[in-house]
Amino acid sequence: MTEKNGVRVIELEWDGPSSVEQISTLFDASDYGLYQIYGTHSVFGPDTLLYIGKAAQQFFGTRFSQHIGWFQNEPSDLRIYVGRLGGTQQPTDDASWSEEIDCAEKLLIYSCSPPYNSQNINSIGEGKNTIVLNFGRRNRLPAVVSTLYTESDFWKKLEKGWKLYVEATSSTSPPGIM
């Protein structure tokens, strides 16, 4: 994690697509992190981001063996992308690593709302002033997701029922347009 001007920056390097079979073989020292699963959804159609999850305190291969039940019932082949913490400043201990992965997972689920995720869909978690940068083969994930949107004064006013409006001017054109 990097901190710039009081903002926590979490960088993820994504790789994929891989099949379920390929992911099930990931048991190396670096095979921890986040993953995205794409497939066909009955409402959203093909190539839909179905699920975002994490492999923390277990390898990707171990975590994927826990999903096999619902994998077998999917109407099409699944494509999986794995994300590992990147950047120049890596966490130096397991607790810091877990905190960054948890924060990134919650923020990505909140921002993308995959249909198979039920936890963290309405919560950005505890990460304040956080930006997640997605690099590499991220597929449909946004390049940047952030908590700063919900921390803005504008957002706070909207939550309190404040309405956005533009005052009428003597000009018939919108402000700034001649």
CA 110 to CA 142: how far, in whole Å? 12
pTM of the model: 0.80
pLDDT of residue 15: 96
Query: Does position 169 have pLDDT exceeding 50, yes or no?
Result: no
Give the model confidence (pLDDT) of 88-140 as tens digits. 777 777 888 888 999 999 999 999 999 998 876 766 766 678 999 999 999 99
Quick check: is 72 in a domain?
A: yes
Quick check: is 160 in a domain?
A: no
Quick check: is 177 in a domain?
A: no
Query: Does position 86 have pLDDT exceeding 80, yes or no?
Result: yes
Quick check: is 174 in a domain?
A: no
Quick check: is 57 in a domain?
A: yes
Query: Which domain, by its residues, includes 52?
Result: 2-151
Sign of the CA dihedral with 149 first, then 153, 158, and 163 last: negative
Using alpha carbons, list the distances in angstroms from residue 65 to 21, 47, 54, 62, 114: 10, 22, 13, 5, 20
| Total domains present in the chain | 1
Quick check: is 159 in a domain?
A: no
What is the bridge-based pairing of β-strands 45-55 and 130-136? unpaired
Quick check: is 172 in a domain?
A: no
The residue ranking higher by pLDDT, 89 or 163, is 89
Quick check: is 168 in a domain?
A: no
